[in-house]
Structure 1
């Protein structure tokens, strides 16, 4: 950490002051990258320039705007890098009263590679920064490692300007040149027309995914060292297969990482692990028991509203060996509603109105909570209409129960997203309840939702 941080601090200090010596702290791969940008400035077609990320594209435009082709062609890789650093086109921004010089808060060293972080992780991501490599016994900065971040920052600024990418780029060039910049239409013209060089540019194209691979290596290394957030991040990628070219999908290994992260107190991992275990286990009793500790951890931290609602379902159905308990179920559903889970009010009313546990049914309270739903009748989905009907019937208002249940059936029948099988089974269940209400009988739950899920029924 100390050696890497010292090397970075030295580069940051020198480059922020536009000192030519900062080029001595660049890695060999970075010098080669500047050589590629030189060749792009000399030979690239407009199509090739547009393929570049914004951070590299603006450097190519700056080289074209300031350097005669003959002079640029005579520069070696190191000279191009020095020019860009001395002119302030590359390098670290100078410190201000509001923004200190970029420093490293943490470093992950993997063999001869050091992946830096510029701040502690947020709740959702690591804040990775520069990557350094050990060459000749010295840590050197890989300039290309920050290109995704620089380009993302520029792209966001361009979008926020509302001026369009072309005009925004022209204004950025003018600011860096401290004078009116040539138009992009002019800068897009190829100074030296050489088809062979354009082909070689395609062959030498940088691997712009490399910084992401380095960072993913760091995440894996941190996970192996016991970092719960890294275990969650890497496990989620492995389990979900969201980046198959960089992290091949491996559901079993990914789930193992998620479980480790959950045991380390990571709430997001605990929730995802509970979901994955139940889905992989096809909602079997063993799967529900295995998932329960993870779900409890997720719910205990209160950051996952869906986890709170899932705990309510465990109590309502009596899963993982837990006795069926409507009061506990409704309390957890209430917490889920407070945390922002939209289906939670519907769940609370349903639990209170249809509870099958003797002495735990609370019909009046169910109807009280249902008033909020009744007032927005036209906005309700068919499941919510079904719930309101159950609450009305539980309180002896069978006429209105029939009205709401009929609306539920009509809305469910018209739901184009339901499969024919699901629609048929739902229709049968809803019509059975409608028959209850027409005959002056209320409805008490006579099944467990988990059993319906296991048989793909509603």
Structure 2
């Protein structure tokens, strides 16, 4: 029963892949989970036999930590993630150079496990050791485990395991960056400096007051050639992220909506250029697939991104197919409870870009957005009620009632909101006040809003002739200036 989430996730892929392939994959996943369970059980007891569950590459990594303790300069050691730096400092504090130099990678690893420098913490009373809730196989001989179900916004990725001569083994250094992030969080929470935290941790491992970091910052042996070799063998700590990204892409290809969203976000934003180059087109494609799969945050992102990426063509309106695509995702996000999407959907509906124009429905969506904290939604509600081209849905009295809150702080309103108040006043027949507010709106515009200025000037002319303003056009069908 322990892996029920895993079996459920693989059910459909088993049907599609065929019995042989599915059984082979399930067997591999089970082997990965068993390898992790053995590693967790041994390492939580500080058992040096944990080393038997490590691959050759991890033993080489422990040899690197030995060499960093022996030869690493201050600058080199400070490049190492803080969790691993703790190991280096503890080795320096607990061994002589001769003792360290005599140990190979496997012996250093055994020492680290026995001293509690590496491995899974012992389970507290009433708790169990961490187990893998899901395993993703990548490249045939690598796997990424998860230490909990997705949080809704991210995967709880854990160790990377590798298949070495038919046996799955744990790469404990794959969690070095996670451990470092945890230490940094604890350092901030405790109000300590990084140096103070490192001294405290080294003292904990030595079971005595921690030595001054200044005494541990210098290399145990001054060997320029060894320092150069250390640079040449520097671990690729970011390989953990590469493996997790590969796992995420595999999940996305298998139809996982959160993974699709994650892939889309990384590609669109270019947030991890060292791992994957920025590709906004592919990013949007993944986000649309995630939205189609029901992922509301992806729908919300597309509400903004699709139109944001469009480059207007002079004399041409926004392509109708782009508006249609955006509306689909906006509606999903609005119905999924995203406040800004509620307001955006109201705008599409008011303009008739989401089907037939319905001013009441548009105002209702804007009202929901305002209730959810979108302050600008009040402006939209007043505009829809005051300028609706459908006489049966136009409501100047309600527009003025809602505009009262805006009029009370008129001196602080931006040009767009002064423009809206003027429209509400004109719809109520208060043309003198409408002219005043419209003039104030125009005065607040800067030189960069020439198109808005033309529209405001046109409305001002109507108010001066004692005519109100009705928006009888779809703003998305208007040609770009």
Aligned counterpart, 2:352? 318
2:62 is matched with which residue: 34, 43, 50?
34
Shift of 1:211: 0.4
Distance change >3 Å, CA 13–CA 311, structure 1 → 2:
same
The C-alpha deviation readout for 1:19-40, integer Å capped at 9, x for no partner, is 1111111122211111111111
2:96 is matched with which residue: 68, 75, 85?
68
Aligned counterpart, 1:416? none
Please give the residue correspondences for 1:71-86 in structure 2 after superposition, counting only pairs within 5 Å. 71-86=99-114
SS class of match (2:445): helix
Distance change >3 Å, CA 172–CA 377, structure 1 → 2:
farther
Please give the residue correspondences for 1:162-177 in structure 2 after superposition, counting only pairs within 5 Å. 162-177=191-206
Q: Is 1:361 paired with 2:433?
A: no
The C-alpha deviation readout for 1:263-283, integer Å capped at 9, x for no partner, is 221112233345444455663
Aligned counterpart, 1:455? 480
Contact 1:158–1:169, Cα closer than 8 Å, also in 2: no
Q: 4+ residue runs of structure 1 moved beyond 6 angstroms?
A: none
SS class of match (1:131): strand
The two structures, once aligned, show a CA RMSD in angstroms of 2.2
Distance change >3 Å, CA 173–CA 394, structure 1 → 2:
farther
SS class of match (1:119): coil
Q: Is 1:13 paired with 2:46?
A: no
Aligned counterpart, 1:195? 224
Contact 1:84–1:90, Cα closer than 8 Å, also in 2: yes
Contact 1:405–1:430, Cα closer than 8 Å, also in 2: yes
Shift of 1:244: 3.0
Q: Is 1:124 paired with 2:153?
A: yes
Aligned counterpart, 2:334? 299
Once residues 197 and 414 of structure 2 are traced to their aligned partners in structure 1, the CA distance between those partners, rounded to angstroms, is: 46
Contact 2:296–2:332, Cα closer than 8 Å, also in 1: yes
Shift of 1:252: 3.6
Once residues 123 and 342 of structure 1 are traced to their aligned partners in structure 2, the CA distance between those partners, rounded to angstroms, is: 27
Contact 2:69–2:91, Cα closer than 8 Å, also in 1: yes
Q: Is 1:52 paired with 2:80?
A: yes
Once residues 229 and 361 of structure 1 are traced to their aligned partners in structure 2, the CA distance between those partners, rounded to angstroms, is: 42
Aligned counterpart, 1:24? 52
Distance change >3 Å, CA 69–CA 337, structure 1 → 2:
same
Distance change >3 Å, CA 33–CA 301, structure 1 → 2:
same
Once residues 47 and 91 of structure 1 are traced to their aligned partners in structure 2, the CA distance between those partners, rounded to angstroms, is: 27
Distance change >3 Å, CA 102–CA 380, structure 1 → 2:
farther
Aligned counterpart, 1:331? 364
Contact 2:68–2:88, Cα closer than 8 Å, also in 1: yes
Once residues 272 and 320 of structure 2 are traced to their aligned partners in structure 1, the CA distance between those partners, rounded to angstroms, is: 32
Distance change >3 Å, CA 399–CA 67, structure 1 → 2:
farther
Q: Is 1:255 paired with 2:284?
A: yes
2:190 is matched with which residue: 161, 165, 169?
161
Aligned counterpart, 1:417? none
Once residues 41 and 378 of structure 1 are traced to their aligned partners in structure 2, the CA distance between those partners, rounded to angstroms, is: 66
Once residues 405 and 148 of structure 2 are traced to their aligned partners in structure 1, the CA distance between those partners, rounded to angstroms, is: 45
Aligned counterpart, 2:320? 285
Distance change >3 Å, CA 25–CA 293, structure 1 → 2:
same
Once residues 480 and 345 of structure 2 are traced to their aligned partners in structure 1, the CA distance between those partners, rounded to angstroms, is: 21
2:275 is matched with which residue: 231, 238, 246?
246
Task: Please identify, of 368-377 and 4-13, the stretch whose mean Cα deviation from structure 2 is larger.
Answer: 368-377
Q: Is 1:395 paired with 2:423?
A: no
Once residues 279 and 157 of structure 2 are traced to their aligned partners in structure 1, the CA distance between those partners, rounded to angstroms, is: 25
Once residues 398 and 177 of structure 1 are traced to their aligned partners in structure 2, the CA distance between those partners, rounded to angstroms, is: 83
Aligned counterpart, 1:411? 444
Contact 1:278–1:284, Cα closer than 8 Å, also in 2: no
Contact 2:459–2:469, Cα closer than 8 Å, also in 1: yes
1:270 is matched with which residue: 299, 323, 328?
299
Q: Is 1:95 paired with 2:129?
A: no
SS class of match (1:84): helix
Contact 2:135–2:144, Cα closer than 8 Å, also in 1: yes
Contact 2:353–2:474, Cα closer than 8 Å, also in 1: no
TM-score of the superposition, structure 2-length normalised?
Answer: 0.87
Task: Please identify, of 210-219 and 285-294, the stretch whose mean Cα deviation from structure 2 is larger.
Answer: 285-294
Aligned counterpart, 2:25? none
Contact 2:427–2:468, Cα closer than 8 Å, also in 1: yes
Aligned counterpart, 1:432? 458
Shift of 1:403: 4.3
Contact 1:4–1:139, Cα closer than 8 Å, also in 2: yes
Contact 2:360–2:393, Cα closer than 8 Å, also in 1: yes
Once residues 345 and 175 of structure 1 are traced to their aligned partners in structure 2, the CA distance between those partners, rounded to angstroms, is: 58
1:134 is matched with which residue: 163, 180, 183?
163
- In structure 1, list runs of 5 or more residues that go unmatched: 414-419
Contact 2:421–2:437, Cα closer than 8 Å, also in 1: yes
Aligned counterpart, 2:419? 386
Contact 1:223–1:234, Cα closer than 8 Å, also in 2: yes
SS class of match (1:169): helix
